[in-house]
Amino acid sequence: MKQTIHHVVIKGTRDGLVFFLDDQCGYAELIQELEMKLDLDHQQFFQGPLTHVILDVGYRYITPEQELQLEQLLHQHGALFLRQIRSKVVCQDDAEQMQREQAIQVIPRTIRSGQEVFHEKSLLILGDVNSGGQVTSHGNIYVMGHLRGIAHAGYGGRRDTMITASIMEPAQLRIASVIAQEMKQQGNQEMLFAYLEGEEIHFDHLHKLHHAMELHSLSISDLK
């Protein structure tokens, strides 16, 4: 049975090819699968005139040595010219920090009055956050139940985070350093999310999340 490649996705554009490389797997595993992709699946596709390639590596930091290795790998497998390596980080520390924040910590219980939960990872609360309870995260916060207490996303200053709840009636929300005080959800009980726009916290229905992500560069990688 043919092995399924999970960590390399290749898409054609008018200007050439974009290789989307998974930023969560190990580098050696990534190189192995990239080589297999070039060798087996798309050998004929890469033959012909010189083709420009963009490598999109997400939140992975690529060292100068790794960049040279990738460039040579492409050159060995046809008329492929490395035009750009597109990364969302500029150093190894940034990459490690972003990967920690993008990971998700599951809390399989209700947060009761007087309880506090703090984590660098995004938080998924499988229950309520009761009045007097507090959840704090460097990343995003997802409450699958009733949010009545305090939720602070983007602790440490990240503004591209959000807070989601099935029923949004918090005592206080905070994203980065911006605070929204007590609110009562109006109308139907459709799931809401809160996000930062300028110096104000805004609320919208969950089905509009994709549009908000485009406007505010929110990440959905930790929703997968």
Enumerate long-range contacts of 136-139, CB under 8 Å, 24 or more apart.
137/105, 137/161, 138/100, 138/101, 139/101, 139/102, 139/104, 139/222
Length of the chain: 224
Give the bridge partners for 58, in sequence order.
Answer: 87
What pLDDT shows up at residue 17?
87
What pLDDT shows up at residue 2?
42
Chain-centroid distance, C-alpha 44: 33
> 159 φ, ψ to 5°?
-95, -15
What pLDDT shows up at residue 97?
63
What pLDDT shows up at residue 15?
81
CB 180 within 8 A of CB 159: no
pTM of the model: 0.53
Q: Which residues of the chain have pLDDT under 70?
A: 1-5, 40-48, 89-102, 185-189, 206-224
Tokens 């506090």 correspond to 116
> 146 φ, ψ to 5°?
-95, 120
Burial of 70 (0-12, 13-18, 19+ CB in 10 A): buried
Rounded to whole angstroms, how far apart are CA atoms 202 and 214? 15
